[in-house]
Amino acid sequence: MKSERSFRHEKIVYERPSDRYRCGRALLWRKPCWQGPDPAGACQGQSDCAPARIGDRWECRRPKVAGGKCSEGPKPDGRCPHTHPPCVPRPALRRWRGRAASLALLVVVLVFLIGVDPAVPWAVNPAALDAGELASSHAGFTREHGCGTCHASHRAEGLAWVASAFRANDPSGKCVDCHDFAGPPALVHNATFADRADVGTISCVRCHSEHKGAAARLSQVPDHVCGNCHRRSFDNFAAAHPPFDERYPYRRPGRIYFDHVRHAEKHFVDPKVRARSRAVAEFAAEAKAKCTVCHEVQGATREVAPRPYEKICGTCHDRDVVNGELNVLEPGQLTVMASLLLGMEKDGDEEANAKRLAELWQAVARDGGRALAALVAEAAGRKPAAEELFRGLATQLLRDLGSAWGAKRGLQAGAKEGSPGWGVRDNAEGRPALVYVPAAHGDPVLKAWIDFAAAAARGAEDPRRAIAADALEQLLDKDAVGACGKCHGAALRAASPLEFERAWKRPPASAAPHSRFSHAPHLELLDPDAGCGKCHELKADSGYAKYFSAKPGKPQPYQSNFAGIRKEVCVECHQKGRVDSACQVCHAYHLPHRFKLGFRMKGGRS
């Protein structure tokens, strides 16, 4: 062992590591034969040598490594006298290794890749194509047609299946068979952006990875995906999200002039207000303390809508609404309404005005409401408005009035003074005037007169437009009958003719399709009666009233009487280790989504 010589390297046959077989005797820890197995694995050591015939003699051919020529020499028949039982050669290590590799490959090919279904022996085993379990939302409707539901190439067979590897096989094209959005589905954010012309279309699978298990939520993507396009990429809301706009989320005025600051800090604590009645005092005290007295938190999502007028505002303001009467027609005098209907200016030709009025009285005495309807149609260009303007007005009363006005005599008042609806009142000269007393908030006749004036102020030609504008201002005056303008004035003045109907109503929730917020989960955490102020902080010095009390032609910028919500308020909870602060918590990538009809028929049948 101490030197190579001791192992008699020079006397032993060279061992070839690449030989495929080894002598079976060596594996039994005995001396191997010098010949070793042949390449096919057959034993060659059954005799010490293969004698050679030289002339008529046999000569021993045993090599030195096996002891040299034997003393006995070959037998007369040429056989070697030194015979041994044959061994069973065994494969060499390298051959065993090759066999192990081949076996592993074979097992995988047979069991894993090639189908085990005897009916389809050469079909690819589904396990060999299994990229992972589908999300539960997709697993159901793909059950019938399997992979082919989304992967068109799956339906190809044989070589066509292999050849499809050289075609484009993006499965995103199949997504839009079922999913539809309010904008083009392939466009980034389903929209185009003027300042990002470099952003075009994108494949669905770039953000939504399927085959991640039944519990995977495909709609959720990690924050860094958003950072792929957005110039400011971050994954930490608290540290890196830009601060909110100073006016967020109160950038636009509402359609109602309601000064939260004045109500909370002045009206609700004003002893005079509280002295009106017990109900008013109780309401004011509660409303001062709790936002939920006026705002309906049950079912609140993006916005917490106020309760109906009758339940909150009406407590104090009903008496303003039903206070006073609208003087519509009056003999010998051009009322604002008459001026609007006839298109006559108050400071116009008195003689012409008187003649026109006299004609009107005659027409009213003869035709009643039809005479007025004709005037309305002439003024506004639409007949139905007359029905709205004079709803509830009795034809006989009109005729009687027309007759009385024409004959310049009086008329017995038919209704008690101050009672709601149409009525007759004596003017200063003791002559009867047609008046209207609003019945309640949202009175349709009063509303129709305001709409009529507003439409004429926008659409009519001069001088009727100027007359209508003047009439509208008078109707929207805060001290006018119904006091409509006190709250609705700014919205109605700013509205275009097509928007009048909407201008009366509360606007829908803010249309910001790429952002989302729900009050509900926040209200669950905060005290719903007192917790609103945590985010919605009143701002006393905001100049909120200026926008609503601006004179025509002199608009004022809108300032909310709430301070803008600060990011720090959100960060108090939305930070690492507390509440999720991922991009998708507040932002939506897609425009509103809907399923296409018949999506369940996917798979070639639709």
Q: At what angle do helices 395-407 and 350-367 cross, to 10 degrees?
A: 140
Residue 546 CA to residue 86 CA, distance in Å, equals: 116
Specify the amino acid at residue 165.
A
Among 75, 206, 266, 383, binds other proteins (CB under 8 A): 206
SS3 state at 463 = coil
Among 101, 182, 240, 509, binds other proteins (CB under 8 A): 101
Contact assessment for residue 540 and residue 261, using Cβ atoms and an 8 Å cutoff:
yes
Closest CA to 425 of 327, 333, 340: 327
Contact assessment for residue 264 and residue 600, using Cβ atoms and an 8 Å cutoff:
no
Q: Which span sits near other proteins by CB under 8 A: 19-27, 531-539, 542-550, 558-566?
A: 19-27
Partners of 295 in the β-ladder: 306
Among 32, 249, 368, 406, binds other proteins (CB under 8 A): 32
- Binding flag, residue 105, other proteins (CB under 8 A): yes
* Least Å from the CB of residue 234 to other proteins: 13
Q: What is the largest CA-CA distance in the chain?
A: 172
563-602 positions binding other proteins, by CB under 8 A: none
Among 50, 81, 90, 133, binds other proteins (CB under 8 A): 133
Q: How many residues bind other proteins (CB under 8 A)?
A: 62
- Binding flag, residue 15, other proteins (CB under 8 A): yes
CA angle 123, 129, 135 (to 5 degrees): 135
Q: Peptide bond preceding 463: is omega within 30 degrees of 0, i.e. cis?
A: yes
Torsion over CA: 219, 522, 293, 288 (sign): negative
Among 52, 116, 139, 205, binds other proteins (CB under 8 A): 205
Contacts of 423 (CB under 8 A, 6+ apart): 325, 413, 414, 415, 417, 434, 435, 436, 437
- For residue 197, how many C-alpha atoms fall within 13 Å in the half-sphere facing its CB? 1
Q: Which span sits near other proteins by CB under 8 A: 27-35, 78-86, 287-295, 528-536?
A: 27-35
Among 142, 153, 333, 403, binds other proteins (CB under 8 A): 153
Among 20, 145, 212, 566, binds other proteins (CB under 8 A): 212
Q: Which span sits near other proteins by CB under 8 A: 100-108, 261-269, 317-325, 576-584?
A: 100-108
- Binding flag, residue 378, other proteins (CB under 8 A): no
Among 52, 127, 525, 530, binds other proteins (CB under 8 A): 127
Partners of 425 in the β-ladder: 433
Q: Which span sits near other proteins by CB under 8 A: 13-21, 245-253, 291-299, 485-493?
A: 13-21
* Least Å from the CB of residue 518 to other proteins: 29
Residue 19 CA to residue 21 CA, distance in Å, equals: 6
Q: Peptide bond preceding 249: is omega within 30 degrees of 0, i.e. cis?
A: yes
* Least Å from the CB of residue 97 to other proteins: 6
State how beta strands 21-22 and 562-563 pair.
unpaired
- Binding flag, residue 263, other proteins (CB under 8 A): no
* Least Å from the CB of residue 597 to other proteins: 28
- Binding flag, residue 213, other proteins (CB under 8 A): yes
- Binding flag, residue 193, other proteins (CB under 8 A): no
Residue 501 CA to residue 495 CA, distance in Å, equals: 9
Contacts of 522 (CB under 8 A, 6+ apart): 535
Among 83, 220, 228, 419, binds other proteins (CB under 8 A): 228
Q: Which is nearer to other proteins, 35 or 542 (CB)?
A: 35
Contact set with other proteins (CB under 8 A): 1-4, 7, 12, 15, 17-18, 22, 25-27, 29-32, 92-93, 96-97, 100-101, 103-105, 108-109, 112-113, 127-133, 147, 151, 153-154, 161-162, 164-166, 168-171, 202, 205-207, 211-213, 224-225, 227-229
